[in-house]
Amino acid sequence: MAAPDATRDALESFDLAIDTVRELNRRLHDSTRAQRLRVLNPGGRHSIAVGLDGSHEIEIEGHVGYYCAGMNKLATIRVRGNCGVGVAENMMSGAVIVEGSASQSAGATARGGLLVIHGDASARCGISLKGADIVVRGSVGHMTGFMAQKGAVVVCEDAGEALGDSLYEARLYVRGSVASLGADCIEKELRAEHLEELRGLLARAEIDDVEPAEFRRFGSARQLYHFQVEHLGSY
């Protein structure tokens, strides 16, 4: 499908108390023009605004269920509420902004784009992250960044147990406490390029009440994933 052009519709409403999620998603998938849409009465329904491929601007007025904004490409999706499991899973590009909190596996396997969570994210935030950036204004649950390969996770408050377990090359930044580090995850020096990255990510997330220098950086010790038989004893 051709990329939507820059002409945008005026902000329209789509009421999920009247029409179905499938109708909403079909309308957004079939559109060759970027749409601005306000989604009303989400009621915790699953799979709202998934698989978008165009620079739509979607505002969801309330709490959503599982996999909201999954596989997002180019679109900007704002959730004025909380999210269930797997918000923005496998996002390719664009931005997803959650004004409330997110349940487990937020941003799982996401390859590109920006996920901002203004509340907390629970367990396994950024699991198997493959290049997207995630900024959480609150705290994250256990196993955040599990097997994350590429991209960054910024946590403005605390991180739960086993942060960065089996981490590859994603960068994890935590401003508050870390309950424990997972296997092969270590604290690393916060250098100028990391301060610069943090400054950029916080600005894109429109978070201006924390300072880049307040964060600590965590990354892979690179002892686990480069499996070498001569190192067997240390695994």
Residues that bind other proteins (CB under 8 A): 43-46, 62-63, 65-66, 82, 84-85, 100-101, 103-104, 122-123, 141-142
* Closer of 65 and 131 to other proteins (Cβ): 65
* Closer of 67 and 215 to other proteins (Cβ): 67
* Closer of 65 and 212 to other proteins (Cβ): 65
Task: Determine the Cα–Cα distance for residues 70 and 55; give it in Å rounded to an integer.
Answer: 15
The one-character DSSP state at 39 is E
Instruction: Give phi and psi for 24, each to the nearest 5.
Output: -60, -50
Task: Determine the Cα–Cα distance for residues 156 and 138; give it in Å rounded to an integer.
Answer: 6
Q: Please, what is the minimum distance in Å from the beta carbon of residue 111 to other proteins?
A: 24
Q: Please, what is the minimum distance in Å from the beta carbon of residue 181 to other proteins?
A: 17
* Closer of 62 and 131 to other proteins (Cβ): 62
Q: Please, what is the minimum distance in Å from the beta carbon of residue 34 to other proteins?
A: 29
Residues 6+ apart with CB under 8 A from 229: none
Tell me the H-state helices in the chain.
Answer: 21-30, 192-204
Rounded to 5°, the CA angle 25-30-36 comes to 65
Bridge partners of 188?
A: 217
For residue 98, give both structure tokens.
């959650």
Q: Please, what is the minimum distance in Å from the beta carbon of residue 63 to other proteins?
A: 5
* Closer of 43 and 200 to other proteins (Cβ): 43
Size of the chain, expressed as the number of residues it contains: 235
Q: Please, what is the minimum distance in Å from the beta carbon of residue 36 to other proteins?
A: 24
* Closer of 96 and 202 to other proteins (Cβ): 96
CB 141 within 8 A of CB 124: yes
The alpha carbon dihedral of 99, 136, 210, 154 has a sign of negative
Q: Please, what is the minimum distance in Å from the beta carbon of residue 120 to other proteins?
A: 8
